[in-house]
Amino acid sequence: MKSSTGESTTKTMTDTDITDRFVIEVSRVGTVDHIVDLEAEPTNRSPYSPRRDLPGEKLCDRSTRSPASEYIGLPDYADWKGFDKTAFDGDAPDEVCSYCWADVLTEIGKEEQHESDDVAERVGTVGYRLRWKQKGRAREEWYDIVVQPETPMAELDTLVCRFTTLDDFHLRMYGLEDEYMDSTLNVIPDQQFAGVGDPSYTKASEVTIADVADRATLWEGDRLSMVYDFGTPSHYYCIVKEVYEPDDIEGLLDEPEPIAATTTAAIIDQKRP
């Protein structure tokens, strides 16, 4: 972020930011308590579910949530349980799920890195190298697709289908990290949109990489997902391997012989069996 004088400043998450956001969910069910991210958007909740009014999202899937749960900040929880760890660092206390705890540490580290790199200001203006893989074949095969901020998801879809040889007999849908069937983007190819008849879906030509990046604060190490065939789904995903400034991405796209290309994107590297 910039100060009033125009100089760059670094903003990091404060202890209050962290303890207000990540709270211990005390359900009195199971051997450990779990952690809820109060800023996370709830996903895949039926309006008839008893979980529909619960705040945020739990950080792991190793227990169910209950409307009877209580939510306590870490300092108060530590005082109640009688241990002296009042900040999210090091190993998890015995009373708290270690998977949830590790996810909190990862999220804190990522957000602090984003803040120090002024990511919020740069998202939407940069391009990406997206390494696409199929779950179960990640080591054997991958494809690097370079995209610009203005690249429509429809062009990305064209290149994804180029290496996966997917067809339009089954629906495919793009989402944020690990969402797959629970996509909050609901982006599907234009040619499939008319047959779906559901206004909650969005045409791939109407969404750009910049739109997705802004929604997800997309940066190096983050992921996008794609599911093919809602009945017997196949899962694909990409990892952001590099972030490019506009001049750099133009140079990559001007390479004489990309593996495949559209107007604003290209497959520039691959590993094949």
pLDDT tens per residue, range 200-239: 899 999 999 999 999 888 888 899 999 999 999 999 999 9
- The answer to whether residue 110 is domain-embedded is yes
Shared domain check, 75 and 32:
yes
Distance CA 119, CA 112 (A): 10
Q: Rounded mean pLDDT of 20-36?
A: 89
Mention every residue, 6+ apart, whose C-beta is less than 8 A from residue 241: 129, 130, 131, 144, 220
Residue 125 has pLDDT above 60, yes or no: yes
Nearest to 227, CA basis, from 155, 165, 175: 175
What is the pTM assigned to this prediction? 0.66
Residue 39 has pLDDT above 50, yes or no: yes
- The answer to whether residue 20 is domain-embedded is yes
Residue 53 has pLDDT above 90, yes or no: no
β-pair type (234-244, 127-134):
antiparallel
Residue 127 has pLDDT above 90, yes or no: yes
Tell me the two tokens of residue 175: 């989402």
Nearest to 173, CA basis, from 159, 192, 195, 152: 192
Shared domain check, 154 and 26:
no
Shared domain check, 22 and 95:
yes
| Identity of the highest mean pLDDT range in 1-5, 114-118, 159-163 | 159-163
Lookup result for tokens 């339009």: 168
Shared domain check, 237 and 107:
no
Chain centre distance of CA 233: 19
Shared domain check, 196 and 128:
yes
DSSP state of 124: T
Q: How many CA atoms lie within 13 A of 208 on its CB side?
A: 13
Shared domain check, 48 and 133:
no
Mention every residue, 6+ apart, whose C-beta is less than 8 A from residue 79: none
Return the ∠ at Cα 62 (arms to 61 and 64), rounded to 5°: 80
In the chain, pLDDT over 90 holds for what percent of residues? Answer: 48
Residue 173 has pLDDT above 90, yes or no: yes
Q: Rounded mean pLDDT of 119-125?
A: 79
β-pair type (260-261, 34-37):
unpaired
- The answer to whether residue 76 is domain-embedded is yes
Q: Which domain holds residue 61?
A: 15-116
- The answer to whether residue 8 is domain-embedded is no
